[in-house]
Amino acid sequence: MQKGKASADELIALILQGIEDVKGQDINILDLREIENTVCDYFIICNGTSNTQVNAIVNSIQKIVSKTIKDKPWHVEGSENAEWVLLDYVNVVVHVFQKQVRDFYDIEGLWGDAKVTVVETSFNQ
């Protein structure tokens, strides 16, 4: 994978579109750039209502990113049980949870120093 093919903003926009296309819920973007020793610049966190929807979100993200900017995740983890799937696009890491798993791990709480942007979608207002 060639790093820096697309800007982080472009990649984030495509990831958000992939999430919204299959009605992923409670989307947050955590900006980690001001925090020392982080593994990436951004986390994008969302959840689905079932393992079927979590897999649909993951597949939607991968499809739109691959089709638009010919990029694919460096690493994917958790798709076997689809309770928490992580997509690592190097500078942007996507966490797709089932709601109860997201509540349990509380990634936003663990990264409390990050700047959080809540993404409003038309279907969850």
Q: Which of 96, 117, 111 is nearest to 23 (CA)?
A: 96
**Domain segments of the chain: what residues?**
8-107
Separation CA 50–CA 57 (nearest Å): 11
The tens place of each residue's pLDDT in the chain, 125 residues long, gives 344 467 999 999 999 999 999 999 999 999 999 999 999 999 999 999 999 999 999 999 999 999 999 999 999 999 999 999 999 999 999 999 999 999 999 999 999 999 999 999 876 54
23: left (phi over 0), alpha (psi -120 to 50) or beta: left
Identify the pLDDT of residue 6.
76
How confident is the model at residue 121, as a pLDDT? 80
Pairwise CA distance, residues 115 & 21, whole Å = 25
CATH match for 8-107 among 1.20.1530.20, 3.40.50.450, 3.30.460.10, 3.90.1150.10: 3.30.460.10
Please tell me the pTM assigned to this model. 0.92
